[in-house]
Amino acid sequence: MYSRLASHRCPNGHYVPPTLAVAAEQPIFCPECGAEVRAPGAEEPAFNSQGACPTCGGTGIVRTVDESTLVPDESLSIDQGAVAPWQTLMWSLMKDIAREMGVRTDVPFCQLTAEERDIVFHGPAVKKNIIYQNKTSGAAGDMDFTYFNATYTVENALSKVKDEKGMKRVEKFLKQGICPDCGGTRLSQAARTPKLRGISLDRACEMPLSQLAEWVAGVPASLPAEMRPMAESICQSFQTVAKRLMDLGLGYLSLDRAASTLSTGERQRMQLARAVRNRTTGVLYVLDEPSIGLHPSNIVGLTGVMRDLAADGNSVILVDHDTQILSQADWLIEMGSEAGAKGGRVVAQGAIPEIARNPASQIGPFLAGTADIRVRERTEPGELFELGTIHLSTGAIHTVKPLEADIPKGRLTVVTGVSGSGKTTLILESLVPGLTAAVGKTKLPEHIRAVEAEGIRQVKLIDATPIGVNVRSTVATYSGVHDELRKIFARTPDAKRLGFKAGDFSYNTGKLRCPMCDGTGVIDLDVQFLPDVTIPCPECQGSRYGREAGRVWYGEYSLPELMAMDVNTALEACRDLKSVRQRLRVLQDLGLGYLTLGEETPSLSGGEAQRLKLAGEMGRTQSDSVFVFDEPTIGLHPLDVRILLGVFQTLIERGATVVVIEHDLDVIRNADYVIDMGPGGGEAGGQIVAAGTPEEIAGNPDSVTGRYLKRPVQ
């Protein structure tokens, strides 16, 4: 559009009206000064081609030296290594030159004058004759050396970086910022010059896609009559792709949004839209839970994309649990019947009507609409706020307008809305930090006007971030089961006879851990020119324990054998161990009975991590606590959702206030109170459209969510 339809600027700064001569590759002359105007080719306004800003290379960001990192410890003198780049980037000779330039190198850096500090950070590249002694050979000689100040030392090293190892040495001295020349737009000045409908390309790319589509719709009419057929053709190509993205619920994204900042679901939908645009045929597409993060209204667009792929002669396989998307399948294969060791079999397969009638199917009743989806007793509407109110008042932030939100204490509140409607901003960027500030732990964020939360002493965010950062963190260690088992095994006759204490049974530090893998259960193999390969330890077969641990028994089992069991099996094996049984029962109640005790927590899914984080909370009184869950049903079967709702109910019975960001209709229907954000995403959202019981949301004509809640509860 911008290369063919825009107004281009002449060398003297005048804009030439749009003309068909650009596409016809005819000479163009400025009507004001007569200068010849060179119109760009289609690649020239592209930031990943000729239109890239020369300063940032089309990335929109620049790396500059962070002076605060150059002297991390000002109590040291320069001779003691205060100037970090001179130490690590192999320019230690610079301290001798700095001394020649009048800098005291034998006093703490904090005592240097402003002039001395300026020489260290920004001193000129002067040459100094220095007597230099080789530390290895002892040979000495005088040589002329050019002074590299601390800042230039880093800049010079950055310019010579050739690999990741070199970058790691330099990056600790750098900070990232918006490119000062392009303002983060990635585009060169020439690419930002043409104007269409009065705005430049960088300004158009800042618009949310839904707003941009409206703007593009007005492009043909803004042009001379002879240009409109061409303009309509170009604009239609844009609108076809834009509509698909908007159907997938991505209308709130702007074109200049960095792909690296997209969520997994957003990225997946972008790939789907591209696949449809490419019009492939004969391709097998495999989609892993594409419904993640999607509002029911967006799933309509998703199924439309899959229909288009199939219509073009492709095959689509998707792994999912959402009944709205499953109901659109031509063929369904159901695995089960349970998770873990009791699963792994095909329990039903066929067209949707067959699955709905199949008594062996667990998903069938949900597809047929006969499943009982009312899992918990909801609070009567007139009693919702009897236990108190949490009130949040916010100013505008991002695309969210100023809000006044009330949340009933001691109830289950679900926050809904289409993608990009402001749910995350309301809860994770406003409510959570607001409550944290209200209990005196942090400063109140600037955009929050007020928080009223009488009686609340703590807020607990239960999100899907991984638990633990290495393989030493397991289900057993995180839940406390391992600590209890270590104490029990240390009291056995075998342990006493062999002289083992509880600490010896730790596979982190104990002497019974496997000596080959050091208690990790895996070995990393260095494969030259390829990424490292991780394999189970050949000595302990992944159990993490040395052979000596197998000589200590409690009843019928050793500790390595118990760690290899799943929670359900371990419950039976530990039926006589009260403290262990209680902890295992909590895991089972959380729907995690299929996990093995020795399973690494970093490998758990987001939903599994969320529920495991709750293990230590289930038996406590929680009347002063607010629990916040961010899309906890991700990856859950409808039957697992029932278990999750039972977990929420347990917390509420203990006095907790539970707030859930969610799209799942069964969770919404079981809520005491619903706050629906919208009505759209991005600039079209950011407001509380409706608040009340699920029935009140369903009856609100302004609520998009309400349209999907109208199916009656069984």
- How does pLDDT run across 629-670, given as a tens digit for each residue? 998 888 788 988 998 999 999 999 999 999 999 999 999 999
Structure tokens at 100: 């020649």
Residue 156: what pLDDT?
87
Residue 614: what pLDDT?
86
**CA dist list (Å): 546 to 200, 410, 474, 497, 504:** 68, 49, 18, 18, 11
The Cα 268–Cα 384 span in angstroms is: 39
Is the Cα dihedral 421, 427, 431, 436 positive or negative? negative
Q: Among the listed ranges 108-112, 419-423, 593-597, which one has the minimum average pLDDT value?
A: 419-423
In contact, 148 and 94? CB cutoff 8 Å: yes
| Of 444, 448, 453, the residue nearest 393 (C-alpha) | 448
**CA dist list (Å): 312 to 87, 242, 284, 326:** 61, 19, 12, 21
Write the secondary structure of 401-414 as one string of H (helix), E (strand) and C (coil): CCEEEEEECCCEEE
Residue 160: what pLDDT?
84
Burial class (CB in 10 A: 0-12, 13-18, 19+), 556: exposed
| Cis preceding linkage at 337, omega within 30 | yes
Q: Among the listed ranges 11-20, 148-157, 273-282, 477-486, which one has the minimum average pLDDT value?
A: 273-282
The 10s digit of each residue's pLDDT in 375-416 is 889 999 999 999 999 999 999 988 889 999 999 999 999 999
Phi first, then psi: what are they for 653, rounded to 5°? -65, -25
Residue 530: what pLDDT?
67
| Three-class secondary structure of residue 164 per DSSP | helix
The DSSP element (H or E) to which 317 belongs, if any, is strand 315-319
Looking at every residue in the chain, the average pLDDT score rounds to 89
Q: What is the pTM of this model?
A: 0.74
Per-residue confidence band for 19, with pLDDT thresholds at 50, 70 and 90:
very high
Per-residue confidence band for 714, with pLDDT thresholds at 50, 70 and 90:
very low
The Cα 696–Cα 703 span in angstroms is: 10
**CA dist list (Å): 267 to 7, 90, 217, 260, 274:** 34, 42, 26, 9, 11
Per-residue confidence band for 713, with pLDDT thresholds at 50, 70 and 90:
very low
For 392, how many CA atoms within 13 A lie in the half-sphere containing its CB? Answer: 30
In contact, 700 and 688? CB cutoff 8 Å: no
Q: Among the listed ranges 234-238, 494-498, 656-660, 680-684, which one has the minimum average pLDDT value?
A: 680-684
| Three-class secondary structure of residue 483 per DSSP | helix
- Per DSSP, the residues of 119-150 read HHHH----EEEEEEE-TTT--EEEEEEE---H
Is 259 a residue whose pLDDT tops 60? yes
Cross-strand pairs, 690: 676
**CB atoms inside a 10 Å sphere around CB 140:** 9
In words, the CATH class of domain 385-465+620-708 is alpha beta
Is 91 a residue whose pLDDT tops 70? no
More confident residue, 533 or 242: 242
More confident residue, 90 or 648: 648
Question: CA 336, 339, 340, 342: dihedral to nearest 10 degrees?
Answer: -50
**CB atoms inside a 10 Å sphere around CB 609:** 20
| Of 361, 411, 351, 416, the residue nearest 386 (C-alpha) | 411
- Domains in the chain: boundaries: 62-178, 385-465+620-708, 475-603
The Cα 690–Cα 428 span in angstroms is: 19
| Three-class secondary structure of residue 268 per DSSP | helix
- Per DSSP, the residues of 383-433 read GTTTT-EEEEEE--BTTBPPEEEEEETTSEEEEE-STTSSHHHHIIIIIHH
The Cα 361–Cα 207 span in angstroms is: 47
More confident residue, 607 or 104: 104
| DSSP state letter for 492 | S
- Per DSSP, the residues of 290-302 read TTTT--HHHHHHH
The 10s digit of each residue's pLDDT in 189-236 is 999 999 999 999 999 999 989 899 999 999 999 999 999 999 999 999
> pLDDT exceeding 90 applies to what percent of the chain?
54
Distance, CA of 326 to chain centre:
26
In words, the CATH class of domain 475-603 is mainly alpha
Is 261 a residue whose pLDDT tops 70? yes
> pLDDT exceeding 70 applies to what percent of the chain?
96
CB within 8 A of 359, min separation 6: which ones?
Answer: none
**CA dist list (Å): 434 to 249, 439, 463, 658, 685:** 29, 9, 17, 16, 22
Task: Tell me how many degrees the CA angle 710-713-714 measures, rounded to the nearest 5.
Answer: 140
Residue 289: what pLDDT?
85
Q: Among the listed ranges 81-90, 99-108, 170-179, which one has the minimum average pLDDT value?
A: 81-90
Is 137 a residue whose pLDDT tops 70? no
| Cis preceding linkage at 679, omega within 30 | yes
Burial class (CB in 10 A: 0-12, 13-18, 19+), 323: buried
Instruction: Name the residue type at position 636.
Output: L
In contact, 157 and 169? CB cutoff 8 Å: yes
Instruction: State the first-to-last Cα distance of the chain, in angstroms, to the nearest integer.
Output: 53
Structure tokens at 459: 């807020």
Write the secondary structure of 603-658 as one string of H (helix), E (strand) and C (coil): HCCHHHHHHHHCCCCCCCCCCCEEEEEECCCCCCCHHHHHHHHHHHHHHHHCCCEE
Is 133 a residue whose pLDDT tops 70? no
Phi first, then psi: what are they for 423, rounded to 5°? -60, -45
Fold of the domain built from segment(s) 62-178: Helicase, Ruva Protein; domain 3 (1.10.8)
| Of 669, 661, 189, 133, the residue nearest 430 (C-alpha) | 661
The 10s digit of each residue's pLDDT in 264-297 is 777 878 888 888 777 789 999 998 888 887 888 8
Is the Cα dihedral 541, 547, 552, 553 positive or negative? positive
Residue 134: what pLDDT?
61
